[in-house]
Amino acid sequence: MTYTLMASTGNMIDWFDNESEARAALQRIVESEPGAADDVALFVSDDDGNIIEGPIHAAPAAVR
């Protein structure tokens, strides 16, 4: 599985092989840049590269 962070520009901004690290990175981006909540999303793909989940956004309500 690969966990990819994408911007709405269509460009990848990070990728992980660990879901919790990917979700934490997404959360940190939105915490540092609340306006990015709708602009950055996580996609999950299987080992063949097929997208199986996403876009997953960090919920603005979760921003501390």
Partner 1 sequence: MRVLQELMGHRDFKTTLIYADYAPSEREAELGRAGLPSTADRNIRQGIGPMRPPVIELTAHAVVRETVVFRIVRGASPQDPEVVEGLHFNYRRGFDPRGIEVANALVHMGISTYRARPKAVGIAQRWPRIGDHIAELRLRPEHGIWFADTGEPGHVTVWGRPLQLLDCVADILPVDRP
Binding site for partner 1 (CB under 8 A): 2, 4-15, 21, 24-26, 28-29, 32-33, 36, 38, 40-41, 43, 45, 47-51, 54-55
**With respect to partner 1, which residue has the nearer C-beta, 51 or 63?**
51
**Based on CB atoms, which residue is closest to partner 1, 48 or 64?**
48
Tell me how many helices (H) and strands (E) the chain has: 1, 4
Shortest reach from residue 61's CB to partner 1, in Å: 19
Please give the Cα distance from 53 to 39 (Å, whole number): 17
CA 17 to chain centroid: 12
